[in-house]
């Protein structure tokens, strides 16, 4: 669910950037001979000004009048907690490309517990 939240945050940022007119492209690819997975969200919005690019992942930093400034900070935290990372490439007037990367899964998928099932350890 956390990875889903990270992707939703990237998509929401892209949607806010393009408004009613613009394009968003989402792509998925493997890198490093299949050892890494990248999810890229690219938009045709106004881009991020150079003076703000180094701060976009800081908690509570935002260039928007609405919002908490936590969306991209949360994406970064989730990615790092899963052994990955996130980058943002942007040029004012030329859109933005956010790339979320994670190590590829190597084992069997983990089943989520049934609703109402307690999960944890006992002492």
Report the CATH number that the domain containing residue 11 is assigned in CATH. 3.30.565.10
Q: For position 91, what pLDDT does the model report?
A: 84
Domain, as residue range, for 63: 2-103
Provide the domain count of the chain: 1
Q: What percent of the chain has pLDDT over 90?
A: 52
Q: For position 79, what pLDDT does the model report?
A: 96
Low-confidence ranges of the chain (pLDDT < 70): 65, 109-113, 116-123
SS3 77: helix
Asked, for residue 113, whether it belongs to a domain, the answer is no
Q: For position 123, what pLDDT does the model report?
A: 45
Distances (CA, A) of 50 to 45, 56, 91, 106: 15, 11, 7, 38
Asked, for residue 8, whether it belongs to a domain, the answer is yes
Q: For position 114, what pLDDT does the model report?
A: 73
Q: For position 101, what pLDDT does the model report?
A: 97
């Amino acid at each position: 669910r956390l990875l889903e939240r990270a992707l939703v945050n990237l998509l929401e940022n892209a949607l806010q950037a393009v408004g009613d007119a613009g394009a968003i492209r989402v792509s998925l690819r493997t890198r490093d001979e299949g050892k890494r997975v990248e999810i890229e969200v690219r938009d045709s919005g106004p881009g991020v000004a150079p003076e703000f690019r180094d701060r976009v992942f800081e908690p509570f930093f935002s260039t928007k009048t609405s919002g908490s400034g936590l969306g991209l900070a949360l994406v970064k935290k989730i990615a790092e907690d899963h052994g990955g990372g996130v980058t943002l490439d942007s040029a004012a007037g030329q859109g933005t490309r956010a790339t979320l990367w994670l190590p590829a899964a190597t084992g069997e998928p983990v089943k989520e517990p049934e609703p109402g099932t307690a999960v944890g350890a006992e002492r």
